[in-house]
Each structure stands twice: as C-alpha cells, then as structure tokens.
C-alpha cells in the first residue's frame, strides 16, 4: 500500500471558523504562500459561495499560489458547486470539495432529507462538480455518527459518480481512536471501488482526540489527513498539522509512513497563523509551544548536556525553531530585512515592503536589538492592517496622568476621511483613550479582552496589545504594537473597530 500521507490544510477554511479568527484576503494569501512553502498537498482556501471575501480568497490563492492543489468547499447544492468552479477555473490544480450529512441526526433535524434523498443529492452534485473538474472530493458530514451500512452505500455511490477523494469527517469530535480506525477499515473492506479513491479523514478536537483519531485512521489505510496549523478550527479545533506530521516523521520506525512536508517551515507557519489570527499558542502545546523544547529539571538538563537523545525525541531545528533569535539591527539593509521577512513567512514586496522597512528602521533607531517577534509584530500591525479598508485611522494621540492626576487623553481620528478630535478622561490612560475613541466612533461594541505583552525583554521592548471586541454576533480581534503601550493600545482598538466594520460588511454580503 502507498506509504505517502497527503496533507490537506484547512487553516483558511475550517481554521478560519474559529471564533474571532477571521482573516482578510491579503492575510489569507500570505498564509497560503507559507502553506505552499511548508509543502502541503492541498490548500482548502475557503468556501467560495459563502461570501464575496471567500470567493475572492479562493480565486486569488488558486491563481497566485503555486504548488499545492487549491480547493473550495461547496455544499451539495448546484449554486455552491458553480461558485466554487467560478472561483477556481483557470487555476493550475483546482479541486471542488462538496459535502452533505449522512447521519440520521443531521438528516432528520437539520436537512429534513431522507437517506435516499441525501444519497441522490451527493451523487448528483459530485457528478456536477466532475462536469467542471477532474479532482472532486466528497465528505459525508458527521460520518462517525452515521449508520455504517448507509455510509458505505453513499461512499460507493460517490466514487461511482467520480469522486477521487472520500473524506470521512468526525464532525463533532465524538469518535474514539479504536472505533474510528475500525470505521476506516470497514470502508476499505465493504465499499466496492474504494481502490479508485483516496480515503481522507477530518477530525475535530472536542474530546482532545483529533490527532489520535487521525492517526488511527492512517494506521487503517487513510491516506489524506485534513488538518490546520496550530489545530485551530470550529469549536475546539481540528487535527493539528504539526502534531500529525511530526508523529509520522518521528515514529516512521513503527508507522512506515511519510508526508511531503518540509518540517523546518512548521514553526514559521505556526507563528504566522497565530500572529494573523490572534489565536495564541499555549506554552505547553506539542511541537510549537514555547515550552515544547524547554527543559527545566536539573536531571533533564544534565542528560541533555551529555547527549541530546536522552530527553529530546526530535530537535527544535527540525521544526524550524532557531536557538538564536537576534536577527537585525539599525545597520541592516533592505535586502537582509526582506530575506528575514521571507523566512518568517511574510512574502511581501513593493510598496508594502517599503512601508514595513521604514517602520523597521524607525524601530531599530529606538531599540538596540530587533528580534523576530518585533519584526512580526511590526509587519502585522503596519502592513496587514493596511490591506483592510480602514474606516477609522489613528492620526495622533496624547495623554497625561500620574499619581494624583486625573488621566486625560486627546485623540485625533480620521473617520471616513474627515478629521475628528476629542478629549476625554478615564480610570487610567488606556481607559481614557478607549472611552474617547468609543465616543468618536459611536461604537456599540463591548471589550471582551484586553492584553498587553512585552514582545521581547528590556524596557525598550515593543508592547503588543491584543483586544477582543464583540458586537452582536461578531467577535473580532485587534492588534497593535509600539514602544509606547498606550499608543499600541489605541492602535489595537482602532484595528479591531475596522475589523468589525469589515465583518459587518462581509455579513451583509454573505449568503449563508
Ligand atoms: O467538520 C466537518 O464535517 C467539515 C466538513 C465540511 C468536511 O468541516
Ligand atoms: Zn470541520
């Protein structure tokens, strides 16, 4: 049997469904380029029919990002399939991924379809997609809670209709490794024509078993794993790309399987996705967490000094973590800056690069040492933010306070092109600035979270502020970085307000 496991990355589709993690088109393209560098086999770039933003992202990634197959999700509906094709046509390696539920729970309560009707729709829509493109994937949603005999029937029928990949989702993260492995073995045994298709799996992490279930599936013959960088995704997320890839690599002795992933690009991909989505990675997260290679105990440190293999089953370098992080200083030129940006996953040029370089020079003048984290924050703050239409722009800010003085802020914002200036007070300088900005922008949003981090050590470090805002059913994240944390706070808030505007607009245009 084939020993190559295909990696299907759905960071830009299922990953983007994480609350507060939406990305704009430019951000998605930057992530997609890093995924191509990482060597994923398939990028699920979005759900073309769902909104103009997703349509544009699928279209641009399919046409601009070289290497992986680029895929759009589509419900088993004619309009969805047609929109997916509209976005993908002309691309070098397009795939349409269509789905419909097969569990009785979903069919009865959500879709109001009989089993026969669902199977018929699946076959018709796979055939419709095949009318456009050779590479069609089908998912029987909620497969792990579907009746196996019916599932076999549907899988057999869609292969007959031309699906080249059949993806078995554990949509609600309910499966257990042993039974999920048996389900895959059952499909291989009972579905006629299964050898003509690749079996894929798509596991959610509600019980913390997504990676274990995916592993059980590949041990039983699945040869594609759907996963996301840092395991982000709907609810508790999806199978983590870095974990499944490093399991297959580190335990090749037992599993005998491989992927096409360049594992040295894993850490840059993790940082990039975390920076862009604002979903931070827990310190003890396997492979990419801050502590994943940090040895605290004296006994462990002693062993490591004698021989790394005593306590290290893989090296940090093998996943792209560099031990020395100091990169650039005030004498570094544009070329060195661009090269480092590329290594960090930000493949940018032209005017965007000029602006980032200007910011870098200004920062290097203020700080003795500029670290990777500084550069990432600067690029995210300055460059990516510019790609989103900005209704609000921070023009200037001053504040005063101190022991015994009422904190007071004066804020100048550009709102729809016009300058508005106001002053206000608050409990502290950040409160004064936020109250003033809220008044100027007339926002109805609630601040759910405010956090500030020193990006690197030292009192000259940049402060990075993250805020989470909610307005109705929209949750957005805003980020800002500056050596002055009050300015960083104001930038983060304004950034979040712009993202809310963007979301609202997307929602108005969205159809599902
Ligand atoms: O979780 C799920 O079932 C999905 C499908 C659309 C593949 O995301
Ligand atoms: Zn999913």
Residue 119 in this model has a pLDDT that exceeds 80: yes
Does the beta carbon of 202 lie inside 6 Å of ligand 1?
Answer: yes
Q: Give dist(CA 196, CA 164) in Å, integer.
A: 7
Q: How far is CA 44 from CA 11, 12, 88, 290, 298, in A?
A: 8, 6, 11, 28, 45
For residue 168, how far is its CA from the centre of ligand 1 (angstroms)?
9
Q: Give dist(CA 503, CA 388) in Å, integer.
A: 11
Q: What is the pLDDT of residues 137-184, one digit of tens each?
A: 999 999 999 999 999 999 999 999 999 999 999 999 999 999 999 999
Q: What's the burial of 311, exposed, middle or buried (CB within 10 Å: 0-12/13-18/19+)?
A: middle
Closest residue by CA, ligand 1 atom 5: 141
For residue 396, how far is its CA from the centre of ligand 2 (angstroms)?
43
| Domains in the chain: ranges and CATH | 6-277 (3.20.20.70), 294-384 (no CATH), 388-511 (3.30.160.270)
Q: Give dist(CA 146, CA 166) in Å, integer.
A: 15
Closest ligand 1 atom to Cα of 169: 3
Q: What is the pLDDT of residues 57-109, one digit of tens each?
A: 999 999 999 999 999 999 999 999 999 999 999 999 999 999 999 999 999 99
Q: Give dist(CA 379, CA 360) in Å, integer.
A: 9
For residue 166, how far is its CA from the centre of ligand 1 (angstroms)?
12
How would residue 499 be classed by pLDDT, with cut points 50, 70 and 90?
confident
Q: Give dist(CA 497, CA 390) in Å, integer.
A: 9
Q: Give dist(CA 336, CA 338) in Å, integer.
A: 6
Residue 473 in this model has a pLDDT that exceeds 90: no
Residue 325 in this model has a pLDDT that exceeds 60: no
pLDDT of residue 355: 87
Residue 512 in this model has a pLDDT that exceeds 70: no
HSE-CB at 403 with a 13 A cutoff on CA atoms is: 0
Residue carrying the six token digits 């029987």: 140
Query: In the structure encoding, which two tokens stand for residue 241, read together?
Result: 């790309």
Residue 405 in this model has a pLDDT that exceeds 60: yes
Residue 323 in this model has a pLDDT that exceeds 70: no
Distinct helix (H) and strand (E) counts, the chain: 18, 16
pLDDT of residue 322: 79
pTM, whole model, 2 decimals?
Answer: 0.84
Does the beta carbon of 213 lie inside 6 Å of ligand 1?
Answer: no
Q: Give dist(CA 392, CA 413) in Å, integer.
A: 7
Residue 46 in this model has a pLDDT that exceeds 60: yes
Length of the chain: 512
Nearest to 4 by CA among 186, 324, 252, 181: 252
Closest ligand 1 atom to Cα of 13: 8
Ranked by mean pLDDT, the top range of 230-244, 328-342, 493-507 is 230-244
Which of 169, 228, 232, 238 for a ligand 1 pocket mutation test, highest count of atoms within 8 Å of Cβ?
Answer: 169
Q: What is the pLDDT of residues 348-390, one digit of tens each?
A: 888 888 888 998 888 888 776 787 878 887 887 666 655 667 8
Q: How far is CA 441 from CA 153, 378, 393, 413, in A?
A: 56, 25, 11, 9
- Checking DSSP bridges between strand 224-227 and strand 6-9, what pairing results, if any? parallel
Query: In the structure encoding, which two tokens stand for residue 205, read together?
Result: 């992490």
143 and 102 in contact (C-beta within 8 Å)?
yes
Contacts of 412 (CB under 8 A, 6+ apart): 394, 395, 396, 397, 419, 420, 421
Mean pLDDT of the chain: 92
């Amino acid at each position: 049997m084939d020993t190559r496991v295909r990696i299907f990355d759905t960071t830009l589709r299922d990953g983007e469904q994480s609350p507060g993690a939406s990305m704009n088109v430019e951000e998605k393209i930057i992530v997609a380029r890093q995924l191509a560098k990482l060597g994923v086999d398939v990028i699920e770039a979005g759900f073309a029919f769902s909104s103009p933003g997703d349509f544009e992202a699928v279209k641009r990634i399919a046409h601009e990002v070289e290497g992986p197959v680029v895929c759009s999700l589509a419900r088993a509906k004619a309009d969805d399939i047609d929109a997916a094709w509209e976005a993908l046509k002309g691309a070098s390696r397009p795939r349409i991924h269509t789905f419909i539920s097969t569990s009785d729970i979903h069919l009865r309560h959500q879709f109001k379809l009989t089993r026969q009707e669902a199977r018929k729709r699946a076959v018709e829509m796979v055939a419709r997609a095949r009318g456009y493109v050779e590479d069609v994937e089908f998912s029987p949603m909620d497969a792990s809670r579907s009746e196996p005999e019916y599932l076999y029937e549907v899988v057999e029928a869609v292969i007959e209709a031309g699906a080249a990949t059949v993806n078995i989702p554990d949509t609600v993260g309910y499966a257990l490794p042993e039974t999920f492995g048996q389900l895959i073995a059952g499909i291989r045994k009972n579905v006629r024509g299964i050898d003509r298709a690749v079996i894929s799996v798509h596991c959610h992490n509600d019980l913390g078993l997504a990676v274990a279930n995916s592993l059980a599936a590949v041990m039983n013959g699945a040869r594609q794993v759907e996963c996301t960088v840092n395991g982000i995704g709907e609810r508790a997320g999806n199978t983590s790309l870095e974990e499944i890839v490093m399991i297959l690599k580190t335990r090749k002795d037992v599993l005998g399987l491989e992927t096409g992933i360049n594992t040295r690009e894993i850490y840059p991909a993790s940082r990039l996705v975390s920076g862009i989505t604002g979903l931070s990675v827990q310190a003890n997260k396997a492979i990419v967490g801050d502590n994943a290679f940090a040895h605290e105990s004296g006994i462990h440190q002693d062993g490591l000094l004698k021989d790394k293999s005593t306590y290290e089953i893989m090296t940090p370098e093998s996943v792209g973590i560099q031990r020395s992080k100091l990169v650039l200083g005030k004498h570094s030129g544009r070329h060195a800056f661009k090269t480092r940006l590329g290594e960090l996953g930000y493949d940018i040029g032209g005017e965007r690069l000029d602006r980032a370089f200007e910011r870098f020079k200004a920062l290097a003048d203020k700080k003795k040492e500029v670290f990777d984290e500084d550069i990432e924050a600067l690029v995210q703050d300055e460059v990516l933010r510019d790609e989103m239409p900005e209704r609000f722009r921070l023009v200037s800010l001053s504040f005063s306070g101190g022991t015994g003085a009422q904190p007071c802020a004066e804020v100048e914002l550009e709102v729809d092109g016009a300058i508005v200036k106001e002053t206000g007070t608050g409990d502290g300088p950040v409160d004064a600035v936020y109250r003033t900005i809220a008044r100027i922008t007339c926002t109805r949003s609630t601040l759910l979270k405010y956090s500030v981090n020193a990006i690197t050590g030292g009192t000259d470090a940049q402060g990075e502020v993250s805020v989470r805002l909610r307005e109705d059913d929209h949750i957005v994240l805003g980020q800002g970085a500056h050596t002055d944390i009050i300015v960083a706070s104001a930038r983060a808030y304004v950034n979040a307000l712009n993202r809310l505007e963007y979301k609202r607009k997307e929602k108005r245009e969205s159809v599902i």
